[in-house]
């Protein structure tokens, strides 16, 4: 893993083609977004439903190609990588927690968490891996559920398994100095106590291990843990604020 995890999105646009010949059904989801996230920053992306948050996150993580614009992670222009190179690059450098958790129904919680590592060619069951597994399961309050299948888990538990899967590579490499984690509504299905567990964990990963975090949320209470908050509106950045500016604006709204 590299020492630096830095993200640069330049002039990103995304048009979803609607299939009509005259283009009338096309959706312009992003309309020129430029965003730089420095190493070690915890960024929250807010905005109304449909404003383009998930689209931006997927493009920044290399899961979706932009219609125009470029994405650079560290020194790599990911928008110019081929599919295979991109998959390998993501596996090494990027963790993603999806809005829909994408757990494999025929694998237990533990097997789901191990999947990216095994897909990367490492073998399971080593002492180091078991220790990291116990550590992450404990941290996310899942130890008793490790052998359950997704359909036997609550929505919140499934969400925590998806978070554990995205973070596992990292728990395995104690010496990893940097990685980039993207999460789409990671606390969307959690009660406030579990939501706080997740936010605290993300904050600690930023502070202790200098991770770079990009977290989509609609909850101000989650954004308060971030260093910086951007707000999207209709495919553009409306506000780009420090956490303090965001908190001040938010408490003025509530007052
Ligand atoms: N695959 C797709 N095909 C066509 N339109 C899409 C597709 N995915 C998203 N869109 C549209 O693009 C716009 C932005 O969607 P996006 O999922 O990025 O919003 P969001 O801010 O994440 O919303 P939410 O808070 O509801 O998750 C929306 O108008 C949506 O309907
Ligand atoms: Mg979304």
Ordered by where they begin, the domains of the chain are 7-103+176-254 (3.40.50.300)
Query: Phi and psi of 254, rounded to 5°?
Result: -75, -30
User: Residue 2's pLDDT is what?
Assistant: 45
DSSP state for residue 146 in the 8-state scheme: T
Q: Does the beta carbon of 27 sit less than 6 angstroms from any atom of ligand 1?
A: yes
102: tokens are: 């994408």
Q: Does the beta carbon of 55 sit less than 6 angstroms from any atom of ligand 1?
A: yes
Q: State the residue for tokens 């450098």.
A: 93
DSSP state for residue 144 in the 8-state scheme: G
In the chain, % of residues over pLDDT 70: 96
The best mutation among 15, 26, 29, 98 to test binding of ligand 1, ranked by most ligand atoms within 8 Å of the C-beta, falls on 29
Q: How many whole angstroms from 218 Cα to the centroid of ligand 2?
A: 9
Please tell me the distance from the alpha carbon of residue 125 to that of residue 112, in angstroms, as a whole number: 14
- The 10s digit of each residue's pLDDT in 105-147 is 999 999 999 998 888 787 777 898 999 999 999 988 899 999 9
**Confidence at 5, pLDDT banded by 50, 70, 90:** confident
Q: Taking CA 16 as the corner, what is the angle to CA 11 and CA 20, rounded to the nearest 5 degrees?
A: 135
Closest ligand 1 atom to Cα of 30: 14
Which position has the higher pLDDT, 24 or 199? Answer: 199
Please tell me the distance from the alpha carbon of residue 10 to that of residue 26, in angstroms, as a whole number: 22
Closest CA to 190 of 211, 221, 224, 150: 221
């Amino acid at each position: 893993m590299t020492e630096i995890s830095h993200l640069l999105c330049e002039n990103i646009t995304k048009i979803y083609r609607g299939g009509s010949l005259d283009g009338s059904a096309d959706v312009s989801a992003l309309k020129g977004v430029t965003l730089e996230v420095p190493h070690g920053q915890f960024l929250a992306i807010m905005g109304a439903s449909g404003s383009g948050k998930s689209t931006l996150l997927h493009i920044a993580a290399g899961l979706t190609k932009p219609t125009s614009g470029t994405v650079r992670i560290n020194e790599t222009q990911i928008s110019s990588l081929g599919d295979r190179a991109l998959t390998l690059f993501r596996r090494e450098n990027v963790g993603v927690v999806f809005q829909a958790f994408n757990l494999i129904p025929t694998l237990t919680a533990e097997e789901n968490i191990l999947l990216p590592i095994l897909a990367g060619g490492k073998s399971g069951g080593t002492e180091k891996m078991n220790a990291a597994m116990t550590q992450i399961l404990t941290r996310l309050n899942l130890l008793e559920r490790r052998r359950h299948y997704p359909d036997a888990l609550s929505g919140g538990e499934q969400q925590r398994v998806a978070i554990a899967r995205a973070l596992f590579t990292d728990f395995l490499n104690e010496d990893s100095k940097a990685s980039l984690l993207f999460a789409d509504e990671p606390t969307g299905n959690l009660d406030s106590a579990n939501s706080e567990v997740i936010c605290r964990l993300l904050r600690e990963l930023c502070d202790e291990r200098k991770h770079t975090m990009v977290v989509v949320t609609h909850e101000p209470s989650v954004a308060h843990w971030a260093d910086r908050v951007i707000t999207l509106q209709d495919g553009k950045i409306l506000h780009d604020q420090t956490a303090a500016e965001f908190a001040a604006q938010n408490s003025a709204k509530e007052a």
